[in-house]
Amino acid sequence: MPIRPLLLLAAAALAAPALAAGPLQVTSQVMVEAKQRAADGTTKIALVPAQRVVPGDRVVFTLAYRNTGTQPLADLVFDNPVPRGVAYRAPAPNSPAPELSVDGRRYGTLAQLGAAGPDAVTHVRWRLARPLAPGASGTFAFHAVLK
């Protein structure tokens, strides 16, 4: 099974607004870590759009959300499936740790789920603790690697 079309299809499916007619605007983006040489000769890691990826590539899935309405939105839960061929690794820096699932139904930590490791993760989920105010926005992100 080719990995590249899988990631691009997953990214395209997640990039559409979750509630097209509602006040919650949600977009998703997949970036790949790429080494770039700086002018001083050092090498740094940069995130670039995931257009071509191969097994072993490290990717970052980012979920951005915004309340475009005039009322606060409460009880928001963001569930992001982990595409086949991709292994969850960890939350991205500055992103809260998500709840994890190995079956899309039960969520918790890997230890609570009895999972052998992060390769078993099939879904990640975040819950907003407080209502999302009108005009407010935020992002969640996690690191993964192509199998």
Give the start-to-end residue ranges of the domains of the chain.
Answer: 3-94+125-146
Integer angstrom CA distances of residue 82 from 6, 35, 60, 63: 11, 24, 11, 12
Which residue would you say has higher pLDDT here, 16 or 30?
A: 30
Mean pLDDT within 104-128: 91
Mean pLDDT within 10-39: 70
Mean pLDDT within 21-38: 88
Closest CA to 61 of 106, 112, 115, 126: 126
32-83 pLDDT per residue, tens:
988 888 888 898 888 888 888 889 999 999 999 999 999 999 999 999 999 9
For the whole model, what pTM was predicted?
Answer: 0.79
